[in-house]
Amino acid sequence: MPYRLSASLSAHANDVKAVASPTNDLILSASRDSTAIAWTRSAQSSFSQESVLKAGQNYVNSVAYLPPAPGAPQGYAVTGGQDSVINIYALPCPKGEPSFSLLGHKHNVCALHTTEDGTIISGSWDNTAKVWKDFKLLYDLVGHQQAVWAVLAIDGGQFLTGSADNTIKLWKQHKNVRTYPGHTQAVRGLALITDIGFASCSNDSEIRIWTMEGDCVYTLSGHTNFVYSLSVLSNGDIVSSGEDRTVRIWRDGECAQSIVHPGISVWSVSTMPNGDIVTGCSDKVVRVFSASEERWASAEEQKAFDDAVAAQALPKDQVGDVKKSDLPGPEALTQPGKKAGEVKMIRRDDNVEAHQWDSATATWQKIGDVVDAVGSGRKQLYKGREYDYVFDVDVQEGVPPLKLPYNANENPYTAAQRFLEANDLPLSYLDEVVRFIEKNTAGATIGSSTQFSDPYTGASRYQAAPAASAPSGADYSDPFTGASRYRGAAATSPPPPATPPVSTGGDPWTGVSRYTASNATSPVTFPQPAKPTLGNVIPVRTPLSFRQAHVSAMQAKLYQFDQALRNEISTGYLAMYPQELNLIEETFTYLTQAVSHPLDPPSKKLTHNHIDAIIQLLERWPQSQLFPLMDLSRLVLAFCPTAYLDPALRARFFAALFKGAGWHDPWSTPLPKSRETNLLFLFRSLANVFQDGTTLTDGAWAQEILDTLGGIPYPVLTNSLRVSLATILFNVSCTGLRENLSSAVRDRLVGLVLEILQSEKTEGEAAYRALVALGDIAFAAKEQGRPLSAEQQATARQVLSILPTTFTESRVRDVSKEVAALL
């Protein structure tokens, strides 16, 4: 018989993050509403709420069960959560207060498992797992590089752990005796498989079956997004749940049934001894499904569940680019599907419906209506303007949410920057807000294998930085959720935007190092004039740099790409040679210290050999995999200026960077994401070349850079690229305040600055940086007795008269007057 709805248990006020079902008559659930609930089955076969377990105000993210013991004849409920404490409740627990609390973890406890002998194993964002016996710490399992998302006690002395570092480890007592590589993203769930070994699931959307000796026997593919949880039925069938709204039942290596839920994230799945399946979902509901007809819910309840699933709106960009006129009508549903989970779209009148094949019942099940991807075609008003989306963003408990407006056709970074600036929030949250926007404008993923994208590349999921580097007091919303809110840190005293922190920090919810590009669009806070008097702002002598970085994550991404090249016969020759690998390793070692201790750089400097190794890789690696190398170059140019002093080496380095950014490829709009990313790192790299210690000597190499930059059609650049380009020109203008630029360099610089000021109509930060660059040029011309040509002055005056009407900010108006006075 197929699995059908047996019960829906509604009492939680937020996502149900974990469920456990140790007996046929007991369910434990944990939620972001800060509670766990014990549900018991009554004589009438229905479940009811027996105890609400609450030890604080933080999310409860994991739950497990300990069997009966003296003092707890019905056993214990074990919970872990955001406060890093493991709480143990003797059941029943009418007061809802813990009998024991286990202290030791330093961060969120996101995974729990127990054994019949009372052993508890816990996993945490602090990168460790801990084993507890008799409510005391027995072992510390230290070895993972990132958060431990999954734990499994094989017995009282052997344990498995899965981590956001993509590995699984086997432990005997406290010793790591085997590591299982294979998953390409965070490992989220583990389950024992009788007579084989164990199963694992991952954010890479795959389920792997392993022997204990480390062999991957086979892989189950079918989920179209993150797979969060696993359980095993008594008959050996595997049950999985994930971010694609489904619970899937796997039999003999195939998906036998897919149960769609009316919520994006099915966070957890558990199985009962009688074969029933329990799920916890982001729609706040615990559900029980049964293959036994006598335990099925009433026809009315089943219909209500099916209707809730069918009522889901699925953005059409998530189910493929289709023309409504090309779709078949309802008659297409008379043809059986080819496999469980197959999705078919049909046209019914003026609507498009998505249906999924349920092989267990041999029927098509409606799973939603396909709508326009942009807000279902309905605009929302905010401050008198129409937007596709207006999100609520919680920044502090007890404070009304802030509004984040966003249009689907704009760069998420622009919207995120605008939001942070408008609310005086730290720019270190830029990437977090971008990920939130991209997540919540994507809709449910149905019918195709779609993963979250790097905001720059569109490639593998953009990973967040370790929890240890998160800003103090942060209360983030989990990026694995389909929820509609992002919780930033309480911004009681945000740092000034002009001085973003060295480390951008990151989202502790992933536990994975984020390879993050630094804040390219961050506005520069130049001194603001008190009144438009000569000398209030101009000259600005200090160049800007892009030095902040997460070096270890950058290194991990680079090595990941290298391994991918090495593993393929057709690309193996592109991988790093041993000598190159050594030089790259030394480069990362140097930069790790230089970034973390900028005032105390390493004594052993990088040499031309290190630069040559980077150039070799830039010249031969595929463009889609160049971005960590491009970003590495950005840091090398900023922190190691003596390594590329040789003119010939410097010319090769710059040529390789331009080639890596696809500079000579045809320009088109929009730019491919990989190219946009590499261009961004190219511009940042060049901005880092022109710093306080830079001297141009004859200026030939600087002129070559400016000449090359002059070949780009400005309108094709995104806003972040425009700001970075303007930063290069501003930095060159700072150099012109320290030394006399050659006439050729200055003329080229003036031409590029004026082109930006004439062309820019929307990106105020790019215009302002170019405006200040023009001011520096005019100041240097006057101070050095080298006035600009009559034509340059005339064009500049014309630009300065128009600019304040295009950008009405007071800073643009005031500095325009100041620059005009210098001409």
pLDDT tens column, 576-605: 998 899 999 999 999 988 887 777 778 888
Q: Are residues 270 and 192 in the same domain?
A: yes
pLDDT surpassing 60 at residue 90: yes
d(CA 374, CA 17): 29
Q: What is the mean pLDDT of residues 535-540?
A: 78
26-31 and 277-281: which strand pairing?
A: unpaired
Sign of CA dihedral 763, 764, 769, 770: positive
d(CA 365, CA 375): 25
What's residue 583's pLDDT? 94
Percent of the chain with pLDDT over 90: 52
pLDDT surpassing 50 at residue 471: no
pLDDT surpassing 80 at residue 499: no
For residue range 797-814, list pLDDT tens digits in order: 999 999 999 998 888 999
* DSSP category for residue 15: -
Asked whether residue 610 is assigned to any structural domain, the reply reads no
d(CA 655, CA 326): 48
**Residue 143 binned pLDDT confidence (cut-offs 50, 70, 90):** very high
- Beta carbons within 8 Å of 555's beta carbon, 6+ residues apart: 588, 628
pLDDT surpassing 60 at residue 144: yes
HSE-up of residue 420 (Cα within 13 Å, Cβ side): 29
Asked whether residue 579 is assigned to any structural domain, the reply reads no
Higher pLDDT, 236 or 399: 236
The CATH number of the domain holding residue 425 is 3.10.20.870
What's residue 481's pLDDT? 29
Q: Are residues 138 and 199 in the same domain?
A: yes
Sign of CA dihedral 290, 291, 297, 300: positive
Q: Are residues 410 and 276 in the same domain?
A: no
CA 431 to chain centre: 8
Least confident of 97-111, 541-555, 745-759: 541-555
d(CA 544, CA 425): 21
* DSSP category for residue 506: -
What's residue 491's pLDDT? 31
How would you classify residue 446: left for phi > 0, otherwise alpha for psi between -120 and 50, otherwise beta?
beta
Among 398, 417, 435, the domain-final residue is: 435
pLDDT surpassing 80 at residue 133: yes
Closest CA to 147 of 128, 160, 172: 128
Structure tokens at 376: 């279902």
d(CA 540, CA 527): 8
pLDDT surpassing 70 at residue 141: yes
Read off the amino acid at residue 99.
S
* DSSP category for residue 463: P
Structure tokens at 726: 């303007």
What's residue 345's pLDDT? 82
Asked whether residue 143 is assigned to any structural domain, the reply reads yes
Q: What is the mean pLDDT of residues 150-158?
A: 93
Asked whether residue 493 is assigned to any structural domain, the reply reads no
Higher pLDDT, 413 or 233: 233
Using an 8 Å Cβ cutoff, are 170 and 176 in contact?
yes
Residue corresponding to tokens 């900023």: 638
d(CA 262, CA 318): 16
Asked whether residue 64 is assigned to any structural domain, the reply reads yes
Asked whether residue 777 is assigned to any structural domain, the reply reads yes
pLDDT surpassing 90 at residue 77: yes
pLDDT surpassing 90 at residue 297: yes
* Sheet containing 175-180: order of strands: 148-153, 158-163, 168-172, 175-180
How would you classify residue 135: left for phi > 0, otherwise alpha for psi between -120 and 50, otherwise beta?
left
CB count in 10 Å sphere of residue 589: 15
For residue range 677-701, list pLDDT tens digits in order: 899 999 999 999 998 878 887 678 8
Using an 8 Å Cβ cutoff, are 329 and 346 in contact?
yes
**Residue 271 binned pLDDT confidence (cut-offs 50, 70, 90):** very high
Q: Are residues 93 and 235 in the same domain?
A: yes
Q: Are residues 61 and 170 in the same domain?
A: yes
47-53 and 36-41: which strand pairing?
A: antiparallel
Cis peptide before 336 (omega within 30 of 0): no
d(CA 499, CA 122): 39
Q: Are residues 184 and 267 in the same domain?
A: yes
d(CA 460, CA 455): 10
For residue range 378-428, list pLDDT tens digits in order: 456 566 555 677 787 766 555 667 888 887 656 676 777 778 777 777 666
**Residue 448 binned pLDDT confidence (cut-offs 50, 70, 90):** very low
What are phi and psi for residue 578, nearest 5 degrees? Answer: -55, -45
Q: What is the mean pLDDT of the chain?
A: 81
What's residue 370's pLDDT? 67
Structural domain range at position 58? 4-306
String of DSSP letters for 758-784 = HH-SS-HHHHHHHHHHHHHHHHHHHHT
Q: Which of 18-22, 313-317, 351-355 is most confident?
A: 18-22
Q: What is the mean pLDDT of residues 756-780?
A: 93
Using an 8 Å Cβ cutoff, are 524 and 498 in contact?
yes
What are phi and psi for residue 254, nearest 5 degrees? Answer: -125, 155
Q: CA torsion, points 188, 193, 198, 201, in degrees to nearest 10?
A: -30
Among 345, 370, 395, the domain-final residue is: 370
**Residue 723 binned pLDDT confidence (cut-offs 50, 70, 90):** very high
What's residue 653's pLDDT? 94
Q: Are residues 73 and 167 in the same domain?
A: yes
pLDDT surpassing 70 at residue 443: no
Q: What is the mean pLDDT of residues 499-512?
A: 29
**Residue 62 binned pLDDT confidence (cut-offs 50, 70, 90):** very high
CB count in 10 Å sphere of residue 283: 20
Closest CA to 504 of 589, 433, 593: 433
Percent of the chain with pLDDT over 70: 82
Q: How many domains does the chain have?
A: 4
Q: How far apart are the first and last CA of the chain?
A: 85
What's residue 385's pLDDT? 57
Structure tokens at 392: 């609520």
Residue corresponding to tokens 């074969």: 275
**Residue 509 binned pLDDT confidence (cut-offs 50, 70, 90):** very low
Asked whether residue 512 is assigned to any structural domain, the reply reads no
Q: Could you tell me which residues are beta bridge partners of residue 426?
A: none
- Beta carbons within 8 Å of 724's beta carbon, 6+ residues apart: 520, 546, 680, 683, 684, 687
Closest CA to 101 of 111, 110, 90: 90
Q: Are residues 284 and 365 in the same domain?
A: no
Asked whether residue 734 is assigned to any structural domain, the reply reads yes
Q: What is the mean pLDDT of residues 602-625?
A: 91
d(CA 796, CA 617): 42
d(CA 441, CA 410): 12
Using an 8 Å Cβ cutoff, are 772 and 540 in contact?
yes
Q: Are residues 179 and 126 in the same domain?
A: yes
What's residue 557's pLDDT? 87
CA 380 to chain centre: 26
Least confident of 126-140, 277-291, 357-371, 396-410: 396-410
Sign of CA dihedral 660, 666, 667, 668: negative
Read off the amino acid at residue 304.
A
- In 3-state terms the chain splits into helix, strand, coil percentages (rounded to 5) of 30, 25, 40
Structure tokens at 494: 């945000």
Q: Is 367 helix (H, G, I), strand (E, B) or coil?
A: strand
Q: Are residues 220 and 240 in the same domain?
A: yes
Higher pLDDT, 779 or 395: 779
Q: Are residues 197 and 81 in the same domain?
A: yes
**Most distant CA pair in the chain, distance:** 97
Structure tokens at 240: 């999985």
The CATH number of the domain holding residue 175 is 2.130.10.10
Q: Are residues 273 and 420 in the same domain?
A: no
Predicted TM-score (pTM) above 0.85: no
What's residue 602's pLDDT? 83
Q: Is 722 helix (H, G, I), strand (E, B) or coil?
A: helix
d(CA 636, CA 822): 37
